[in-house]
A and B are shown apart, each in its own frame.
Chain A
Amino acid sequence: MGFYILRRLGQTAVTAVFVSMIVFSLARVTGDPTILLLPTEATQEDRDFFRKQIGIDQPLHLQYLTFVGRVLDGDMGQSFRYREPALGLVLSRLPATLQLAFVSMLFATLIALPVGILAAVRRDTWIDTLARWFATLGQATPTFWLGLILMLFFAVHLGWLPTSGRGGVEHIILPAITLGWFSAAAIARLTRSAMLEAMQSDFVRFERLSGLPERIVVLKHALRNAAIPIVTYMALQFGVLLSGAVVTETVFAWPGVGLIVVDAINARDYPVVQAAVLVTAMFILLLNLLVDLVYSWLDPRIRY
């Protein structure tokens, strides 16, 4: 167990290094920043001086090490646009994105679990067929389109909910459904197959034979057996929600990390883009690590 944890931590550290390289390369593929940052009438000397100032006259590996050193100090550069530290700017928007992701996950779970369980229990009936259609459609719906349609119907036509912004409970309903829709479909699908597998296990068959009521067999024993893969999958879906939030936030003007990133990209504000990508990627990496550790703790047979 101890060895497994150490190995997994080591792997995550190496992966984190590669993530930082990808993020570093994001800024480097943009080409010569002096073209972007200096006025067009700047002379060659001005440009050389500026390159020296921001350190891009150095060899690439030194630039990378400087970048990592700064990141470890919590410095990801200044936002060109807001003249504020980029990392602080992204972190200040993180709570809004996390809130949206949590509520979306809640919505997805509330839909997916009953649908998945019911589909498994009533296998090959119309309920099952309906559930499968829900899952298939959910995974083919473009998020931004769903957001627009929901907005058009519930906010514009019926006027029940606000079209955009962050505020009371009514503000989060449409964005959460939009963002959670895909995950609801995915989790429902997995719940169904995990439940089917659990219900065919010898253990559950035995419970059934011993005369326990079906309701208890399903909800107590089969569900408990299916819980590990379902919960794991949900944790992984949370990462999907975090990165998918960009689109939903843009549609509903939800003031999270995604919205600021799209703004930053349009304004060529690369430090903010880098900070947002790095923060989200690290968050997902840690989430994956946590899932693996909890998984191996719950089910000691699992070692990869």
Chain B
Amino acid sequence: MSDATPLPRRAAWLRDMLRGAPVLATLLVAFFVIAAVFAPWIAPHDPSEQNFLASLAPPFWQEEGSLANPLGADNLGRDILSRVIYGARVSLVISLFAIVLAGTVGVLLGLIAGYAGGAIDSLVMRIVDAFLAMPFILMALGFVAALGPSVTNIIIVMGITNWARYARLVRGEVLSVKNRDFVALARVAGQPRWRIGIKHILPNVTNSIIVLATLDLGRVIILESSLSFLGLGVQPPDISWGLMLSDGRAYMTVAWWLTVVPGMTILLAVLSLNIFGDWLRDRLDPRQARD
């Protein structure tokens, strides 16, 4: 067990669990993406528009609720549905860029470590161990506090704190394909190392990377919302689900929807991403699927 934390085994047993769930989850993921991309056309209100007449208006199914603010309004009378829709933008942008950054760094270092072997491999793997041993949220908090909270910095910090698992995954895969015949043949044919790495080894690890990245999206969304909740993530006037929750906290006893709606949104987004990721793993990466 020299590998610090094993990959969470979001097991393949979700497969038989709900035959329809992956479909539903995929639809939900698509729904969130559409909401994020087309937010200005979908949202019923400007998310920052204050309307004091609607202050703390409840969701439509409650008495005194109305369809003007279907999911209610916050203390400043801002429409919660619109804010949730715009919040999807921030969550999606942050998690996508963060994972692209973490993935690029991790994949490159993993390729180098696995392919070079020896001292370079040991060195890279010890750095990977160090990053995996770091208390995740604390490290992210520390870096955000140091760099200052902004969307760009959050992306950088998530990249810094997340690359190690990609490096470990890719390095393992490289080791397992490195000595296979097709790689040996390419070497005999005189192809340069970097070319073998990119043309022959990388395609063999792509599926595992895609699966890890999909499952990571949910993790990063939770992490981002945790940072925002602690006041060290997305800053107003930008909108984030975690920030909405944090703002709604003071009104928890009088207006539950300020905390319940963004919380449920995070839960649904992460849940559908995880189910989608599990399904993808069964398709693309059967070796990692476990019963």
Residues of A that sit less than 8 Å from B by CB: 8, 11, 14-16, 18-19, 21-22, 26-27, 29-31, 124, 129, 132-133, 136-137, 139-145, 148-149, 151-152, 156, 186, 189-190, 192-193, 196-197, 232-233, 236, 239-240, 242-244, 246-247, 250, 258, 261-262, 265-266, 268, 270, 273-274, 276-277, 280-281, 284-285, 288, 291-292, 295, 302, 304
Contact = CB atoms under 8 A, between A and B. Distances in A.
Given A19-B130, A132-B13, A148 B138 contact: no
7 contacts: A11-B2, A26-B142, A133-B17, A141-B267, A142-B226, A192-B13, A284-B134
Contacts of A31: 146
Interface of B: 1-6, 8-11, 13-14, 16-17, 122, 126-127, 129-131, 133-139, 141-143, 145-147, 218, 222, 225-226, 229-232, 242, 245, 249, 252-253, 256, 259-260, 263, 266-267, 270-271, 274-275, 290-291
B126 A15 contact: yes
Contacts of A129: 17
A186 to B, nearest CB: 6
A189 to B, nearest CB: 6
B241 to A, nearest CB: 9
A26 B143 contact: yes
Contact of B1 (A144, A192, A274, A291): A291
A142 B130 contact: no
A297 to B, nearest CB: 12
Given A26-B143, A124-B16, A15 B138 contact: no
Given A140-B271, A141-B267, A265-B142, A15 B129 contact: yes
A243 B138 contact: yes
B133 A295 contact: no
A27 B142 CA distance: 9
Contacts, number: 175
B134 A19 contact: yes
A149 B229 CA distance: 15
Contacts of B225: 142, 144
Nearest to A303: B2
B138 A156 contact: no
Given A129-B17, A152-B252, A236 B135 contact: no
Given A142-B263, A277-B135, A189 B129 contact: no
Contact of B142 (A277, A291, A295): A277
Contact of A137 (B138, B143, B271): B271
Contacts of A156: 252-253
A304 B266 contact: no
B252 A140 contact: no
Contact of B141 (A240, A261, A268): A261
Contacts of A14: 122, 126
Nearest to A267: B145
A277 B139 contact: yes
A88 to B, nearest CB: 18
Contact of B259 (A16, A136, A145, A266): A145
Contacts of B270: 140, 142
A31 B129 CA distance: 27
Given A193-B290, A261-B138, A268-B145, 12 more contacts: A18-B127, A139-B8, A139-B10, A145-B263, A239-B135, A243-B136, A243-B137, A246-B138, A273-B141, A273-B145, A284-B134, A285-B133
B141 A302 contact: no
Given A152-B252, A236-B5, A284-B133, A193 B11 contact: yes
Given A156-B252, A247-B229, A265-B142, A236 B6 contact: yes
A280 B256 contact: no
A292 B1 CA distance: 5
Nearest to B135: A243
Nearest to A18: B130
B208 to A, nearest CB: 19
Contacts of A141: 267
Contacts of B232: 265
A124 B13 CA distance: 10
Contacts of B139: 22, 26, 277
A63 to B, nearest CB: 16
Contact of A266 (B9, B231, B290): B231
B17 A284 contact: no
Contacts of B242: 142, 144
Nearest to A284: B133
A247 B226 contact: yes
A59 B162 CA distance: 29
A30 B274 contact: no
Contacts of B252: 148, 151-152, 156
Tell which of B126, B133, B263 has the most Cβ of chain A within 10 Å. B133
B256 A152 contact: yes
Contact of A145 (B16, B136, B267): B267
Contact of A265 (B141, B229, B266, B271): B141
B291 A196 contact: yes
Contact of A193 (B13, B126, B138, B256): B13
B137 A149 contact: no
B4 A236 contact: yes
Top 5 closest pairs, chain A to chain B, by CB: A243-B135, A18-B130, A145-B263, A140-B271, A140-B270
